[in-house]
Structures are given as C-alpha cells and as structure tokens.
Amino acid sequence: MSGSTFRWEDAEVFASLANLLSLRQGACLGPTERGNKDTQHATANGAPACARDTLKRRFLDSFAKVMSRSKGGKCVACVALRESRNVDLEEPDGVKATLLVARNEVFEDVDFIFCNEIERLLAALGASACKHTKDPVVEKALWEAMLHYNGPRLKQYALDLQRSVLAFAGRGYLDRIPPYHLAQPVSNRLGIATFCDSDAIGSYCRATHDAYMRFAQAHLREFCNILSFGDRVVGRRHDRLTKKAHSIRHMKSIQIFIEASCNDWDPIPKLLSSIQLLGRLKSCYHTLVEAAETIPGFANLSIRLVNRPPSHKFLRNLPSLASLFTWLGLPFTLPTVRKYVGDTTIATIQQDFGKLQEKSMFQTLSTHAETQLVFYITQRTDLETMTKEFYPYIGCSKLCCFLCFTFLRFFGQRGPFFRVRGCHGRVHPRWSLPETKGLHVDMCIELHLALGKTFHYMSREMTKAVATCFPTTTGSSAGMTDDYSAPPPYIHDYHMKLAIQSKFHALRAAMAANWSKCALVLLERLLS
C-alpha cells in the first residue's frame, strides 16, 4: 500500500523546544543504543561479516567526507548504501551497489560531474577486482579526481597548516628539542610509553629521545619547505601536502614533539589537527580503493545525488518562552531558568530565545543531510525492502547533531535501523522535518513513531539540570575514532574531560581577575 502522508505534527512547539535546547549550557548526549543487537549484516552463508561491516562503515564515512568538498556546515554530506540482488548481473554475488548522497547545501554541476567520473572509476576498480587484477591507471585517475574536487577544502586546510607551522617556528619551537623529562608527561597522558616510528632509530626511550625529536623536526621542516618553496601549481602542491600529512599523521614522535614543545594552554597544538585534517583525503582514497576491490556490487555501482526536500517556513506565531516553560511543567522563574538553561538572566534568555523564534518564523528551516536520506528512502521503498537491501549505517562527514542523532536512534521499532559514528552534542536551531507524500503505510508509521519519541526525549532532556550536561565537541572528525558501537561511557568520559578543562580555564581567569583587582587596590593605596 502507498499514498500515505507524513506531516510534522506540533511543529511550532518542536521548533521552539529545539531553539530553547540550543541555548542551554553544555551538550545533549542523546539516547543510547536500544533494542536487539542482531541487526548486523551477514554474508551469503549466514556467518557474521564483521570485517566487511567495518569496511562498509569506513567507506561510507570516507565517501561522505569526500563529498563535503568545502568547509562549513552547509557542506556536511551523508551517504547510504543499497545492495540490490539480481541474478542477471555479471558479479559473482549478483549484487548491484547504489550510493545515495545527501548534503546540507544544494548540489551543483561540479558535484554531478565528479560523481559521474568517480562512479565510473570505482566501477572499473570493482570489475578489475572480479578478474583478480589491479589497474594503477584507474587508481591514479581516482586520486586526481578527488584531489581536484576537494580543492576548496584543501586550500583552507593548507592555509591553516601554514599559519600553525609558521607560528610554531616563529616561537622557536622548531629549532630546539624538548628535554626528555618534558616529553614524559605528554607520552603518559597519551598512553604511548614506547613506540617505533622509524626502524632506523628503534623503540622510543631515553636513549633515542633526541633522535626522535630531530626526526620530528625534519618532517615539520619539510612542511615549511613545501609551503614556502614548493610547487606553485596548486594541484601539485596540495598533492604533496596531503601525501606528507597522511604519512606522518599517526606518528607518535610528531605528537610528542609538538605537545612537549608547547605549554598546555598554548594554541599552537592546533598544528596537530591541521596535519590530521590535511592527511584525511589520502586516507579516504585508500578506503575507497579497498572498498571497491572488496565489497560486492561495485562493478555495477551507481551514485545518486538526493535532491534537498522543500524547506519548512512557519506561517503562525510560535509560543513564547513563558508558555513553553508552562508546557514543560516548569515555573518560569530565575532559579528554574538557571537550573535548566544555565547561568543567565530572564531578560537575557528572553532576548536570545526571541531572536531564534523570529528567525524560525521568517526564515526557512533546514533539513539536515542525515534526515534527507531517511525521507528519500522511506518515500521510495517499504519497510521490508529497506530491511533487506539497505545497509543499516549512514556515513557522515561530521558527527551528527543532537536532533539528527536522536531521530535516527528512534527510527526503527526494534532498534535504530540507521546507525552513525557519533554525536557532537550540539542542538542546531531551525532544524526541521519535511512533509512527504506517497509513503508506504509502514514507513509513515515508522516516521511518526520516531518523531513522537524524539519530541518526548527533547522534553525530557530539557527538564534535566544543566549540571548533568557537558561541553559540546567541535563536530570535526579530525582525530576522532568514535563509532556507533562505542559505549556511552566513552562519550561521557570525553565530555567530562572537556568539562574539567573548561572549569580550569574559568578558575584561572577568575584568579587572574581577582589578582588584577588586588593589584589595583594596592596601587591606589600607594598613590594615596
């Protein structure tokens, strides 16, 4: 059966609640894993395909990062995988792979051109793998296409790296070796008492410390040379920078050298994230090649770019802050505001909330890429087909926002069907769900159930004291290894670490302010 319509019920209250949640101090961690854990894919003979599942998840996340060709929230991309079986296909398993790609911003001609090219190249790699051969010409063409398409992002990363490495060198860090006793607290904190970045040097210890620090110096100086005197052709320069960053991004000696050279509160360690981000594209390339040569169906690959659904725009007035507190069952008083929103005043929160409400009434609301994919799939299939053919994971170029993460967690009656690698904990205002027609009844029911549970969870989250929340992460995936299967304590511990750091900064600032006041009083007394 088909023809059902999904409508975003109580949209005004939902959007207002999202606006209020976005003003709270700290992060919203989102619901934890639910239901049965038996939704893992299996191979044709029924055995669990753990290694292949891991590769699929890495591939989907990597492909999403490739499709996010510029920095910024507008370019966040998400990818889903459909594996359709057809005995007439040439592949041994009779599988056709289809990638569905959604992005926060509208796709342009350059995106369609790139996807047509990369579809052909990945299919060629899949066909070569079926014949147990490799095609280095196709691999080279794939890398060059990815390099050219991601030029805007690589340009920004190169600029960030240049600023960081020049600042690092400008402070003299690049010309001196941090002593062994300063490196030990860093290595202990990182949990890397010993390592071997170079066979010529051997394992890291007191005797090899200076050699490894010179080893790290040489690598960082090579970045300086590429940035200062390297190839003036932008594409070739990006090629050299990304390959260099990729080759050293996991070297422990680099991390120890940078962190031991700087004090804990110096902004220079951003150099590490610049290296990790710049080397990300090459890592994605290797994952794409491995997936094309390993996952069935790539010889018959197709890539579809999902059209962004029509945006919501409210025509009615949204509820006031006082009425929203009443709806939540909370008194609209200063103690309540401070308990559930944070250290603010009623006048301030009313002003900030009013601005968000005004934007929600007069500006269009956005449907994030993860949610776009879910609605695209539900409009074109039924629950049984989705369960059989769609891999239960959505690859994301960034960690999900709280609302997308929560909605995906509740989409699926026996557990979250689509998983993601993590949630950064921020609540984005002006988040919306599109109204959709032509749905199968079962899919319409699934969407309404997910909406209702998300709404309920938002209300429950809003009635938690802010002391139980933690600072948000940046949303960047640089250096992050989080996955949908990571246990909740991991996210909790990560946020706890950030909370401790934040409190330390606040305490130090307060002490500095108090010292300034004492110095001023003393100066006034001396002058009098």
Question: Tens digits of per-residue pLDDT, 186-217?
Answer: 888 888 888 999 999 999 999 999 999 999 99
The string over 334-346, giving b where at least 16 C-beta atoms fall within 10 Å of a residue's C-beta and e elsewhere, is: eeebbebbbebeb
Residues 232 and 227: their CA atoms lie apart, in Å, by: 9
More confident residue, 511 or 203: 203
Residues 421 and 57: their CA atoms lie apart, in Å, by: 9
- Residues sharing a CB contact under 8 Å with residue 239, sequence separation 6 or more, in sequence order: 147
Digit-coded pLDDT (tens) for 315-350: 678 899 999 999 999 999 999 999 999 888 999 999
Only one residue has tokens 């639910």, namely: 34
Digit-coded pLDDT (tens) for 385-432: 898 999 999 999 999 999 999 999 999 876 678 999 999 888 988 899
pLDDT band at 495 (very low <50, low <70, confident <90, very high): very low
Q: What is the largest CA-CA distance in the chain?
A: 97
Residues 350 and 19: their CA atoms lie apart, in Å, by: 12
SS3 content of the chain, % helix, strand, coil (to 5): 55, 10, 35
What does the pLDDT read at residue 496?
A: 43
For 80, list phi and psi in degrees, rounded to 5. -120, 155
**Assigned token pair, 174:** 């690049």
What does the pLDDT read at residue 107?
A: 95
**In which order are the strands placed within the sheet that holds 302-305?**
302-305, 95-103, 77-85, 395-396
Pick from 399, 425, 301, 309: which is nearest to 64 by CA?
A: 399
Residue 302, burial from CB neighbour count under 10 angstroms (0-12, 13-18, 19+): middle
Residues 122 and 63: their CA atoms lie apart, in Å, by: 12
Residues 197 and 210: their CA atoms lie apart, in Å, by: 14
Mean pLDDT to the nearest integer, 446-459: 93
pLDDT band at 500 (very low <50, low <70, confident <90, very high): very low
Mean pLDDT computed over every residue of the chain: 83
Q: Within 10 Å of residue 117's Cβ, how many Cβ atoms?
A: 17
What does the pLDDT read at residue 270?
A: 85
Whole-number percent of the chain with pLDDT over 90: 54
Residues 298 and 177: their CA atoms lie apart, in Å, by: 49
For 6, list phi and psi in degrees, rounded to 5. -95, 125
Only one residue has tokens 């600032």, namely: 509
- Residues sharing a CB contact under 8 Å with residue 461, sequence separation 6 or more, in sequence order: 21, 28
Mean pLDDT to the nearest integer, 16-22: 93
Q: Which helix (H) or strand (E) covers residue 67, if one does?
A: helix 50-67
Pick from 116, 112, 119, 80: which is nearest to 375 by CA?
A: 80
What does the pLDDT read at residue 485?
A: 38
pLDDT at 449 over 60: yes
What does the pLDDT read at residue 310?
A: 81
**Assigned token pair, 449:** 């159930």
**Least confidently predicted of 252-261, 485-494, 496-505, 517-526:** 485-494
Mean pLDDT to the nearest integer, 492-513: 44
What does the pLDDT read at residue 406?
A: 94
The separation between CA 60 and the C-alpha centre of its own chain, rounded to angstroms, equals 12
| CA gyration radius, the chain | 26
Q: According to DSSP H, which parts of 176-304 are helical?
A: 180-190, 209-229, 234-248, 252-261, 270-278, 280-294
Mean pLDDT to the nearest integer, 27-41: 57
Pick from 53, 112, 144, 21: which is nearest to 472 by CA?
A: 21
Residues 108 and 495: their CA atoms lie apart, in Å, by: 37
Q: Which helix (H) or strand (E) covers residue 366, if one does?
A: none
Quick check: helix, strand or coil at residue 71? coil
**Assigned token pair, 113:** 């051109």
Residues 252 and 17: their CA atoms lie apart, in Å, by: 44
Mean pLDDT to the nearest integer, 269-293: 93
